[in-house]
Structure 1
Amino acid sequence: MAIPREKLYITPSPLEDDVTCPNLGGTNEPLIDYNVVLKTDATNYDSVVKNHFEMLEKCLQRERHNVHELDFSSIKDNNNVIFDFSVKGMIAGYTTKFTKSFVENYLSKLHEVAIVNENKVIEDPFENEFVKQAPLVRKTVRPVAKMPNLDRIDQENYPLNLKYIYPDSAGAGVDVFVVDSCVLKVTICNAIFYALIKNVIIIITFYFRGIFLEHEEFQGRQGKTVVEKTFCGNNLADENGHGTNVASIVGGKTLGVANYANIIGVKITGKDCPLNAQNIINGITYVMQQKANDPGRKFVLNLSVTSSDAAVGEVASKAVEAGIHFVAAAGNRNLDACGFFPGKVETVVTVAATKITLNQDWATEFTNWGKCVTLFAPGEKVPVAGIGNSSEITLDSGTSLSTPHVSGAIALMLAEGDSTPEQSKEGLLKIATKDKIKGLDYRPTANVLLRIRNAVI
């Protein structure tokens, strides 16, 4: 439906006390979505937020909504809304529409504005992923003959021993947030949803989907599995299965690295909800808000997507400062990972992908590389839960499948004792397998492969 002409432009209005609003742009300029991050610290947070938002509300005559509490299906006109993703004391910012001239001539020059970027849709968020293979026959025992990805990460050297050995705590008590596509089918009746929602695990994987809670990998787990929040209206469905894939690696009953961890789905993309920087930011700051609400909880945030928006990097950096263990995909373009956010952020754990060929570890052809990569993890032909039916298991490839291996490994560490994000990153590197990965001659990257802290045999 066409947008009424009068809603395509900003009409200036006076501030109180006869103070004139800044020039908001010409009457023929279209509105563009922008993500804005403000400069705040412990001493000025309240004053900066108060003054800046008061200016916006008075000049734009728009409603301001907290995205962490908002039902997005209730918003009928995005042109007249300020989407506030601030978390008190941690991050301040918002998404709304401005004219380009207003941003360039006024907003970007304000002392309190750290970043202002156009909110662009990510055209191909999954890049080279979803290399589907033939379905596997289910294997319900923890010997892992058909799961070489798990077999590889619990030992330093070949040959693989056909076992996956891990601490008895198995990630218990750790919340892994999977920010992704939601996998709960909308056709499932309310009674089934109520029964399933009692089993929740927390994973933050920014891959725009949720979790197919009906799958056998999430049934009968000690950890809980739940889809907690959607930024795509009220639709919790996982239309493409990516969130389910990721969640099953983090903590699936037989496929998961840390199968007692709590998995929490946060939906940031879907069929009628294109992925953009705004929803990535909303997903990250949602987890930050949960951390602010309960600082004692142990949080891992798994983000399996890349963005060119520096605002995503800034928010990720603030999430780590807040004590959230942040794991991100390096990306699948065979490019320098330093060209993408949040992987470029030094405090984020950025994960590249390997494959196993004739008892050797190789960097995959598609993986991003470079000095911004923290370590590698298995990422080709990885067994994952599918959404075709409740027992479907398929083989998928991509750095977004490598990333949840590392999120699960951090959950194993946190279940054994407290650590800061900096300490968990150091711990990963200390016990990792060194100098085994081939195929890096022309892609200079630290030769470090994930190895979990396992039980003594």
Structure 2
Amino acid sequence: MFSKRILNILLILNLPSFIISAPLAICDGCDHLSLRSPSPQTPSLSDATCPNFGGTNEPLIDYNVVLKTDAANYDSIVKNHFEMLEKCLQRERHNVHELDFSSIKDNNNVIFDFSVKGMIAGYTTKFTKSFVENYLSKLNDVAIVNENKVIEDPFENEFVEQARLVRRAERSTAKMPNLDRIDQENYPLDLKYTYPDSAGAGVDVFVLDSGIFLDHEEFQGRQGKTVVEKTFCGNILADDNGHGTNVASIVGGKTLGVANNANIIGVKITGNVCPLNSQNIINGITYVMQQKANDPGRKIIINLSATSDDSAVGEAASKAVEAGIHFVVGAGNRNLDACGFYPGKVETVVTVAATKITPLPNQQDWITEFSNWGKCVTLFAPGGNVPIAGIGNPSEITSGSGTSLSAPHVSGAIALMLANGDLTPEQSKEELVRLATKDKIQGLDFRPTANLLLRVPSP
């Protein structure tokens, strides 16, 4: 007789009827799963009420799941949980860090595994809401299970001005007040950008974004490499909305960049035909974690210019920092408390808000009208009318505004630090605070935030 427990799971998940006729052997080894301590309101799978957890017409929804692991139990937890998904539910498991997503034709029966051995264990797959609420979320080995949602307008209130700037043969700051501002404490600006000679050499900055327009002049003739290494979103060679190119040029562009010898490595997580969701942010973060696991000695920074309300994103960011990765994120552009968004609310992450420079003759630093703020903000960096590389042609220079453009200033600054010494993520964050220009930012009266403005290390 077919096991009642397995039949219940299959009914809950609305799996195809042909699976129900499969032999008992498909679920050997599933008995190791256990619910948290049951209560009168928490039936176990052996109860007659189990089929009510999910009706046959209940839709399947994408969920991000993070497992509860530590150094002692990592292997056993991962083995047991994925055996349940594969054997009992007949799902195909794929490692997202190696997967060509274009090869997947049916997402309904796929487990997108973003685990990095010893660091984080988890996956994205489809379940019914009832199954998640009444069973999966109550398993002892599940730490987080959240619906995988599309992030509506992830770069809200950001603005790119298409008017081109005059190119200079030399690295002049006359058209780059953002760089001029971050190497000195006080006004007036001295029309110079002074930085350590190493300029971030040997440091890898992973830009999790929309890709990079590699043919742009800003990425040609650099000591550091510029590549797009992985895509979770369509064509790896295309940056169809330009955002990733904008960000990358501030990190390390030849003339526009804070650290123009750093390696810039694109990881494509969004694009015009691929709306950003929390799954792809997690995939991008864990992909970088896998690179760190492959080579623990690499000096790695993650730059992320998007926010989410999914705590699984925050957990991935936290685990990345634990793995020794320096993590920088834009605070967001809604004029709200940055503590309401992940991964910015994660204490170990560097969360960056945006300032603008008022016009001559009385130049000052002001928080931008759009920037998020609050105690979760680590410091500010220029984010108003910042010169950036565009995607219109290989020489296009535009300007833009947003905390997306503030964050890469800080990623570049950390690259300058790491090129000249070994620092943990905790130490680089402390050094950012120590070096920062203090008490110069105006407009914080009703937005209580640490009054700290990025300053790069001296040569």
Please indicate, yes or no, whether the TM-score normalized by the shorter chain is above 0.5: yes
1:12-49 C-alpha deviation (Å, 9 max, x unpaired): 75522795995573211110000000010000000000
How big is each residue's C-alpha offset from its partner over 1:371-416, in whole Å with a ceiling of 9 and x where there is no partner? 0000000000000000000000001000000000000000000000
For residues 195-231 of structure 1, the C-alpha deviation after alignment (integer angstroms, 9 at most, x for no partner) is xxxxxxxxxxxxxxx1100000000000000000000
1:371 is the counterpart of 2:375: yes
**Counterpart-to-counterpart distance in 1, 2:326 and 2:202:** 14
Decide which moves more: 229-238 or 351-360: 229-238
Letter in structure 2 aligned against 1:220: G
CA contact (8 A) 1:71 1:234 kept: no
State whether residues 410 and 424 of structure 1, in contact with CA within 8 Å, keep that contact through their aligned partners in structure 2: yes
Among residues 95, 98, 103, which one is paired with 1:74 in the alignment? 103
Any idea what SS the aligned residue of 1:222 has? coil
Aligned residues: 422
Is the 1:227–1:265 Cα contact (8 Å) retained in structure 2?
yes
Tell me which amino acid in the other structure corresponds to 1:26.
Answer: G
The answer as to whether partners of 1:65 and 1:83 remain within 8 angstroms in 2 is yes
Q: Say which of 171, 178, 182 aligns to 2:207.
A: 178
SS of alignment partner, residue 377 of structure 1:
strand
Residue of structure 2 aligned with 1:16, choices 15, 25, 28: 28
| Structure 1 CA distance for aligned equivalents of residues 393 and 234 of structure 2 | 25
> 1:10 touches 1:98 (CA, 8 Å); kept in 2?
no
Please give the per-residue CA displacement for 1:162-197, whole angstroms capped at 9, x wherever unaligned.
00000000000000000110xxxxxxxxxxxxxxxx
- Where do residues 52-91 of structure 1 align in structure 2 (5 Å cutoff)? 52-91=81-120
AA aligned to 1:180 is D
Q: How far did 1:133 drift?
A: 4.9
Letter in 2 for 1:148: P
* Structure 2 Cα separation of the partners of residues 17 and 454 of structure 1: 60
Q: How far is the alpha carbon of 1:9 from its aligned partner?
A: 2.9
The AA in structure 2 aligned to 1:294 is D
Is 1:169 the equivalent of 2:198?
A: yes
Residue type of the alignment partner of 1:146: K
Equivalent position of 1:433 in the other structure: 437
Residues 1:324 and 1:19: Cα distance change in structure 2 (over 3 Å): closer
Q: State the partner residue of 1:186.
A: none
Cα distance in structure 2, aligned partners of 1:343 and 1:236: 29
Work out whether residues 160 and 398 of structure 2, in 8 Å CA contact, stay in contact via their aligned partners in 1.
Answer: no
Question: Could you tell me the percent identity over the aligned residues?
Answer: 83
Q: Does 1:40 find its partner at 2:69? A: yes
Contact residue 32 and residue 80 of structure 2 kept, 8 A: no
Q: Which amino acid aligns with 2:214?
A: L
Aligned 8 A contact 1:337 1:373 in 2: yes
SS in 2 for 1:300: strand
Alpha carbons 1:121, 1:275 under 8 Å: kept: yes
**Cα pair 2:204 2:264 within 8 Å, conserved:** yes
Kept after mapping to 2: 8 A contact 1:247/1:263: yes
Whether contact under 8 Å (2:228, 2:236) holds in the other structure is: no
SS of the aligned residue for 2:161 comes to coil
Q: Would the aligned equivalents of 1:429 and 1:448 in 2 still touch at CA under 8 Å? A: yes
Q: Does 1:395 align with 2:399?
A: yes
Within a 5 Å distance, the mapping from 1:10-409 to structure 2 comes to 10=15, 15-16=27-28, 22=45, 23=50, 25-181=54-210, 210-357=211-358, 358-409=362-413
Aligned mates of 1:125, 1:364 — CA distance in 2:
18
Q: Cα deviations across residues 237-291 of structure 1 (Å, max 9, x unaligned)?
A: 1111000000000000000000000000000011221110000000000000000
Q: Structure 1's 412 and 312: CA in aligned 2 closer, same or farther, altered over 3 A?
A: same
Unaligned runs of 5+ in 2: 1-10, 34-44
Distance in 2 (alpha carbons) for counterparts of 1:67 and 1:234: 16
Q: 1:130 to 1:324 in 2, by over 3 A?
A: same
Q: Distance in 1 between matches of 2:14 and 2:427?
A: 49
> One-letter code of the match for 1:153?
I
Deviation at 1:130, TM superposition (A): 2.4
Give 1:135 shift.
1.3
Matches of 2:197 and 2:30, distance apart in 1: 67
Tell me how far apart the structure 1 counterparts of residues 434 and 310 of structure 2 sit (CA, whole Å). Answer: 31
Report the structure number with the largest CA radius of gyration.
2
SS of the residue 1:217 aligns to? helix
The whole-number CA distance in structure 1 between the counterparts of 2:207 and 2:158 is 17
Contact 1:81 1:96 in 2 (8 A): yes
Partners of 1:71 and 1:233 within 8 A in 2: no
CA positional deviation for 1:332: 0.1
2:8 matched residue in structure 1: none
Q: Could you state the TM-score of these two structures normalised by the residue count of structure 2?
A: 0.90
Matched AA of 1:402: S
Q: Distance in 1 between the 2:350 and 2:130 partners?
A: 37
Aligned residues of 2:92 and 2:109 also touching (Cα < 8 A): yes
Contact 1:32 1:100 in 2 (8 A): yes
Question: How large is the RMSD of aligned CA atoms in angstroms?
Answer: 1.7
Q: Which moved more, 1:141-150 or 1:320-329?
A: 141-150
The answer on whether the counterparts of 2:213 and 2:242 sit within 8 Å (CA) in structure 1 is yes
CA gap of 1:217–1:370, structure 2 versus 1, over 3 A, is same
Q: Secondary structure at the match of 1:82?
A: strand
CA contact (8 A) 1:10 1:25 kept: no
Helix, strand or coil at the partner of 1:256: coil
Verify the 8 A CA contact 1:72 1:234 in the aligned structure 2.
Answer: no
